[in-house]
Amino acid sequence: MIFYMGRRKKMLLQRFNKKGSLQDLFYIAIVLVLLAVSVLIGTKIATEFHAGISANPTFVADAPLAITATDNAINNYTYAVNSGFLFITIFFVIATLTLAALVRIHPIFIPIFLIALIFLIFFCGIMSNIYSGVAEDDTMTSTASRFAIMHSIMVALPFIVGIIGIILMVVMYKNYEIG
């Protein structure tokens, strides 16, 4: 029975042995950009749908009710997604830092970490430019202006990832004990 419990505990530790690293920051950047672009496109579709209902003479009797309902849905969606994007970003950062605290790595790897962090910051600059290209398109400008928090995070993504990367380095390499 004791052997079984030890084996079970070992299996659980292997299953949940996740580590926070630069790879997590890479995934976070990709997820945030994909989410932001998807939100912009989805909101643009909803706005066009709202404009289509407003301009359609077929909906004369139900037009005020339909216009009000879609306007409320778009406004509530905008507020919820804007706040939710900030929450998701903070959650990802806290999860990565928490998982990084569980890792014990020798400080000899700090130069490699810094080189990889520079490449990651460069990659995040490219991802930020992709978002900016979509958000600053003529058809998306009014849609992107509704999401002030999301836009600020995405424009400053390389800076945010750089700061979180430095904090991640300190968290990862502080656990090493000599001797």
Model confidence at 24: pLDDT above 60? yes
pLDDT in tens, 26-77: 999 999 999 999 999 988 888 887 777 777 777 666 667 767 777 777 777 8
Of 124, 114, 122, 94, whose CA–CA distance to 169 is shortest? Answer: 114
**C-alpha–C-alpha distance, residues 88 and 137, integer Å:** 25
Q: What does the pLDDT read at residue 79? A: 86
The four Cα atoms 20, 132, 45, 148 give a dihedral, to 10 degrees, of 80
CA distances from 92 to 4, 78, 96 (A): 35, 21, 6
Q: Calculate the CA 74 to chain-centre distance.
A: 21
Q: Any idea where the domains of the chain sit in the sequence?
A: 20-173
pTM here is: 0.80
Q: Calculate the CA 72 to chain-centre distance.
A: 26
Model confidence at 12: pLDDT above 60? no
Q: What does the pLDDT read at residue 121? A: 96
CA angle, residues 55, 60, 61, in degrees to nearest 5: 145
Ramachandran sector of residue 178 (left: φ over 0; alpha: ψ -120 to 50; beta: rest): beta
**C-alpha–C-alpha distance, residues 98 and 172, integer Å:** 10
- Cβ atoms of residues 94 and 28 within 8 Å: no
pLDDT in tens, 92-111: 999 998 888 887 777 788 89
